[in-house]
Amino acid sequence: MEKVKKRIIEYLSVLKLKHNMKAPILCLVGPPGVGKTSLGKSIAKALGRKYVRMALGGMRDEAEIRGHRKTYIGAMPGKIIQSIKKAGTSNPVFVLDEIDKVGNDHRGDPSSALLEVLDPEQNNAFSDHFVELDYDLSNIMFIATANSLSSIQPALLDRMEIIEVNGYTIEEKTEIAKKHLIPKQKEQHGLKAKDIVLKPAIIENIIENYTRESGVRALEKTIGSLVRGAATKIAMEVAYNPTFTPEDVVTTLGAPYYDKDFYEGNDVAGVITGLAWTQVGGDILFIEASLSPGKGKMTLTGNLGDVMKESAVIAMAYIRAHAHILGIDYRVIDQWDLHIHVPAGATPKDGPSAGITMLSALVSAFTQRQVKPKLAMTGEITLRGKVLPVGGIKEKILAAKRANIKDIILSKANEKDIKEINEDYIKDLNFHYVTNMLEVIDLALLQNKVKNAVDIVYRDESAKK
């Protein structure tokens, strides 16, 4: 929450010095359940202003923003003017929820109507079709929320100040549960503080085994299930232990829903650990490459998207062009088929972050050099072998830490993202910053015991002929 707090303090500072200002248009972007809407309510409380919320999800009618013309039957002002009238003030904190889910059809485009509302240079004379008078919206502090920026109209996006609200770490979720979620659930279910005690170790167990999300919505539901279990025993006057143990959690919630991400060990050449960003946070994935006698054909499996398939093609092209530098015999490339697989096969996977992992797996398979233990990597490559930066670094790093990985290879350009992460979360990790693929190969792969890699594939003289 550092960026959000800093921005609000800046706003209050200017307000104190100038006594009035055009309110900023903030857009909080992040995955579901991280508290974007709740942040709007907290900002209103901190500023001492009225709180107004307007849900934009599924809105298709432009008149809901601008109002109806009086010639229509049942005409009424737009939601902006209606909300201000209900609030009874001209300077509330106005939350525009789910701005990325605004639709459009024959009734108009609400996102285009919002351009005037969210432009500080125009909204001092907002025109509502029903009111037919200009209304000053410049004193309102608009806060928009969105899960993704990709579906927001570019002109609308240009008018807002983007603040990313990332997913929470396990430590942060534990604190949120202790300070907010558990007391809230106890109050909602009529329990006293002593009726149920969840220690930090139990909360971490619930987070890792029963939830998989960036926010805390599922965590709150799970804690609610435990609280209801205790409430049932109290209501039925059954003796129970208020301090929950792992066995009590399994009894109440059932077997764990999710397996914790564990590093499996790269004992076989051609298996590399990669880092991926998902809608529910970071995850680790394994990329496997194996060789078999054939004619140089490459097969890709694992329900891969177009971007990951292209990464594999680029990696193969780089290996063909630099085989002599990498110590790969051309005969291995031309006379052996290559199979690349990314488990689990039923899960769709895509995104520009597996390039260096793909290339490292291929080089490992062709040279039979094993990967160094407890190492993972993320980054994209070019045909020249340059390592490009990728996004979702915080989530990926936390996934690596959960999986007990110690060394992480990243693009040099991603170093700035690491500096933004709290040092306490990454103190046990070693980061290796690279600019080209040869550095990645030197860092990731162990030196081979045999002098020539081709000797492993062509084991006898007849195979060489």
- Active-site residues, by number, are 353, 396
Q: What is the distance between the alpha carbons of residues 103 and 56, in angstroms, rounded to a whole number?
A: 9
DSSP alpha helices (H): ranges in 256-354?
306-321, 323-326, 330-335
CB atoms within 10 A of CB 196: 25
The secondary structure of 16-46 as a DSSP string is: HHHS--PPPEEEEE--TTS-HHHHHHHHHHH
CA atoms within 13 A on the CB side of 388: 13
Q: How many CA atoms lie within 13 A of 329 on its CB side?
A: 14
Is residue 289 helix, strand or coil?
strand
The secondary structure element, H or E, covering residue 12 is helix 2-18
Which residues lie below 8 Å from residue 106, measured CB to CB, with a gap of 6+? none
Which residues fall within 8 angstroms of residue 35, CB to CB, at 6 or more apart? Answer: 165, 215, 216
| Runs of H (alpha helix) within 159-236 | 170-176, 182-188, 200-210, 217-235
User: Is 43 exposed, middle or buried, given 0-12, 13-18 or 19+ CB atoms closer than 10 A?
Assistant: buried
Contact 292, 337 (CB under 8 A): yes
As a whole number of angstroms, the distance between CA 173 and CA 424 comes to 15
